[in-house]
Amino acid sequence: MLDAFKQFLSTKERLPEKNLHYYVKWVSDCYRYFDKPETELLTNDQNSKFLNHLAKKHEDWQVQQADRALRLYGYFLTRIKRNADGSSGDMPDNWKKIEEKTREALRLRHRSYSTEKTYILWLRQFQGFINGKQPLYSEGKDIQDFLSYLAVVKKVSASTQNQVLNAIVFSIVMYWIKISKAKSAQ
C-alpha cells in the first residue's frame, strides 16, 4: 500500500523525489505506533496523538511534514476505498450539491473568486474532518470540534476560525434553503 502511496505522491502531488521517502516513513511510523494495518483509516485523534508523540523528539518542521504526510495518506486511502466500492472516487452527491449551491450563492452576491475558493476549501476540509459524514447528519458539535481542532492543533488565528465558521454555516444554510424549496414545490 505504501508503494502505491509513494507513486501517488510523486505523480499527483508532485513532491520532490528527495522528500518521498520521508512522507512514507512518517506514515509507516504512525501505523507502527498504533499497530494498525496500513489499509485502515486512522482517526483525527490518532493522528494528533502520534504528532504529539513526534513533537517530543523531533523539530517543528518534521512534525508539520508528518502531519501533511498523514493527511495525504488519509486522502489517498479514502480515494482508494471509494474506487474499490465502485464509486467515481468523487465526493458524495450531497457534498457536491452543497459546493454547487455555495458557488451559486456567492456568485449571486458578487463575492470575489478568492472568497469562493476559500469557502470551498474550508468546506472540503470540514467534510474530511468529519470523515465524509453526510451533511444531513452533521451536527453543531462537528463544527465545534473542527474549530477546536483548528485552534488547538493547527493553531489558526481567531479571524481564520471566524472565516471557517462563516464558510461552513453559509454553505450549509444555502443547502438547506435548496432542500426546503424543493420540498415546498412538491
* 148-166 per-position pLDDT tens digit: 888 887 889 999 999 999 9
Provide, rounded to the nearest whole percent, the portion of the chain with pLDDT above 70.
Answer: 89
pLDDT of 73 higher than 70: yes
Same topology for domains 2-84 and 93-185, yes or no? yes
**Has this prediction a pTM greater than 0.75?**
no
CATH 1.10.150.130 fits 93-185, yes or no: yes
Say if residue 42's pLDDT is above 60.
yes
CA dist., res. 11 & res. 137, Å (int): 35
Candidates 147, 117, 114; CA nearest to 129 is 147
CATH class name, domain 2-84: mainly alpha
Instruction: Select, from the ranges 2-6, 159-163, 181-185, the one with the highest average predicted confidence (pLDDT).
Output: 159-163
How far is Cα 2 from Cα 69, in angstroms, rounded to an integer?
A: 12
Collapsed DSSP state (helix, strand, coil) of residue 16: coil
Q: Which of 97, 128, 102 is nearest to 116 (CA)?
A: 102
pLDDT of residue 64: 93
Domain range list for the chain: 2-84, 93-185
Examine the pLDDT at 128 and tell me if it is beyond 70: yes
Percentage above 90 pLDDT, the chain: 42
Which element (helix H / strand E) includes 29?
A: helix 17-34
DSSP 46-89: HHHHHHHHHHTTS-HHHHHHHHHHHHHHHHHHHHHHHHHTTS-S
What number is the average pLDDT over the span 82-108?
A: 74
